[in-house]
Amino acid sequence: MEKAIDASRGMGETELHIAAVYGLVALVPIMAMVEQEPLVSGMAGTGKSTVAYTLCKHWLKEGCLGASFFCSRDDEKARSRISIVPTIAHQLLVLSESFAQLMKQIPIELVIPALDDHVDKLLVQPWFSASEAQLPTKPMLVVIDALDEIEKEEGSELIKQLIQAVSMSKRLHGLKFFITSRPHPRIVDECSSIDQKAVYHMEDIDPKEASQDVCHFLDAELADLASWRRENIAAESGGLFIYASTIVRYLHPPNFPLSTNQKAKRLDMLKTTGHHATRLGEPYEFLIDSLYKAILVEAFPDVGQEVEISKRVLYCVVTTRQPLRISDLAALVVDATEEADDEAVHNALKSFHAVLYISSRDQCIYTFHKSFPDFILDPKRSPELASPARSYFADRTYNCLAIMNTSLRFNICNLTSSFLLDEDDEGLPERVAANIGPELRYACQYWAVHLISVHDPQDVQQLSVTLLEFCSLKVLFWMEAMNLLKLNCRLPIHLARIWALQVNNLIVMLSVFAYTTD
């Protein structure tokens, strides 16, 4: 259960109240009715993860939660298929001593890299053998949430193997899987063999019933507002809890409680920024997009450097491959000639408090819901922001590499002798400052930090050419500059190696590995 709670970052009391309203009531009977493993399908914002989280809490209390895994594209391990089955198997160890003993005999170092063997060798075979000796007294539930967030679209392959393992034999007797996913085409295809009684579509909830649930939620969260205002929000939500919970966060900025009148003024302000009432049954994207657009209009009220920093913060948060702390983010959003400014980033984040938050667990910045980055990165839904957001890290990486390829040279600071220690070279600090200016220093220090978040195929191809040029002609001069700046080369080289492995570029991989400092 610890995994379930940790993986549900950002799911506070607001969302838990939502799930308590309809998720548990609607889904627990389904678990009892169907023979096959239940699948909850729904678009972003319809409450799948909230339902999964609440059911985990319910089944833990009932003593029948075997394991859980909440997939998330925000986390390297949580988006990798290679992590899922081993994590589930590890959690199942406490259920059966014989299962735990059998797992000790498995050559983990050989099985883990063999991704396609995970379900059979880490679940099916040991569980079947263990069940002959010892079986839990009641079926245990295994929850896998957000299957569509597994990278490289490998969620479809995982569910295919699970369906085969469950339907073709009784070797997983005593385990029942509960899975949630967006209706990704490949996942939908793989699930076509499932009894449709076992598939629960979140969109099938009657909008009027969902709207009533939203009303209960708003009565609890915005009790100080006039009832007609709460009713208006419920009507505008179209039954989408993500819409209602975003409104609630919008009216509760962190560390700055609003009076009832101030909340009312904020709601009125949404109307003046282009947000308008919608109808029950309206397409969910239209509903949530109208709210996100209004929030962004308020966040970007004018032009200027402050707004530019806010946009860069937004671009970084929705496109980074790894969650970032404020101190990490500050260096990635300033111009190369400027100093990193943690306070400026913190101030920028305040304007996004309804959609972004800083986790108390690791101090990293996350989106409250995956529908927000989806909105920002979709050219049709966010035409002004999608392109600069998608290309942000690629553009910054290219600029860094271009500066280094142009400016780095042999003996850049005119050292008088290779036998002379730097501290004994008179006037060296002044020559370093004169020859390695702020732009070149920034490029040398941060090129790989930007690079690691570049994964668009076209950007990868273009950057690979520039990176090869850098590795072939300038990397030794870069190491010299880093030494003069008293900066360590190991982290950038390590990040570049990881990137080359992730994008599967053998030539770049070999070029980067040639300059290992380990």
pLDDT per position as a tens digit, 185-223: 888 888 887 777 777 777 666 667 777 778 888 898 899
Which has the closest alpha carbon to 125: 162, 176, 172?
172
pLDDT score, position 10? 41
What distance in Å separates the CA atoms of residue 265 and residue 225, rounded to the nearest whole number? 11
Q: How far is CA 449 from CA 230, 325, 438, in A?
A: 45, 13, 17
Which helix (DSSP H) or strand (DSSP E) does residue 331 occupy?
Answer: helix 326-333
Which has the closest alpha carbon to 143: 41, 82, 83, 67?
67
pLDDT score, position 166? 79
Single-letter code of the amino acid located at 345: V
Q: What mean pLDDT is predicted for residues 450-475?
A: 88
* pTM for this entry: 0.67
Q: Which residue reads 């969620």 in tokens?
A: 155
Q: Pull the structure tokens for residue 393.
A: 């890290």
Let me know: does 510 contact 491? Beta carbons within 8 Å.
Answer: no
- Which phi and psi angles does 365 have, rounded to 5°? -95, 130
Question: β-pairing, 199-201 with 39-41?
Answer: parallel
Q: Pull the structure tokens for residue 299.
A: 């966040």
The helix/strand/coil state of 69 is: strand
The helix/strand/coil state of 44 is: coil
pLDDT score, position 33? 40
pLDDT score, position 5? 34
What distance in Å separates the CA atoms of residue 172 and residue 165, rounded to the nearest whole number? 7
Give the residue with greater pLDDT, 263 vs 37. 263
First to last CA, the chain: 38
Give the residue with greater pLDDT, 501 vs 125. 125
Judged against a pLDDT cut of 70, whether residue 17 lies above it is answered with no
Q: Specify the DSSP class assigned to residue 283.
A: -
Judged against a pLDDT cut of 80, whether residue 393 lies above it is answered with yes
pLDDT score, position 256? 81
Across the chain, mean pLDDT equals: 81
Judged against a pLDDT cut of 50, whether residue 50 lies above it is answered with yes
User: Using 50, 70 and 90 to split pLDDT, how confident is the model at 42?
Assistant: confident
What distance in Å separates the CA atoms of residue 351 and residue 405, rounded to the nearest whole number? 38
Find the range with the poorest average confidence among 45-49, 204-208, 248-252, 450-454.
204-208
pLDDT score, position 326? 93
Instruction: Dump pLDDT digits (tens) for 62-106.
Output: 888 999 999 988 787 888 899 999 999 999 998 888 899 989 988
Single-letter code of the amino acid located at 133: A
Q: Pull the structure tokens for residue 161.
A: 């193997």
Let me know: does 214 contact 74? Beta carbons within 8 Å.
Answer: no
H-assigned helices in 251-350: 260-272, 284-299, 305-319, 326-333, 342-350
Report long-range pairs for 355-362 (Cβ below 8 Å, ≥24 apart): 355/246, 355/249, 355/292, 355/295, 356/317, 357/10, 357/254, 358/326, 359/9, 359/10, 359/323, 361/6, 361/9, 362/323, 362/325
Give the residue with greater pLDDT, 5 vs 27. 27
- Which phi and psi angles does 396 have, rounded to 5°? -65, -40
Find the range with the poorest average confidence among 200-209, 236-245, 310-319, 436-445.
200-209
pLDDT score, position 26? 46
Q: Which residues contact 250 (CB under 8 A, 6 or more apart)?
A: 266, 270, 295, 353, 354
Instruction: Dump pLDDT digits (tens) for 119-136.
Output: 999 998 898 888 776 666
pLDDT score, position 71? 92
pLDDT score, position 264? 92
User: Using 50, 70 and 90 to split pLDDT, how confident is the model at 371?
Assistant: confident
pLDDT score, position 13? 38
What distance in Å separates the CA atoms of residue 435 and residue 204, rounded to the nearest whole number? 65
pLDDT score, position 315? 93
Q: How far is CA 465 from CA 402, 410, 472, 507, in A?
A: 11, 22, 11, 10
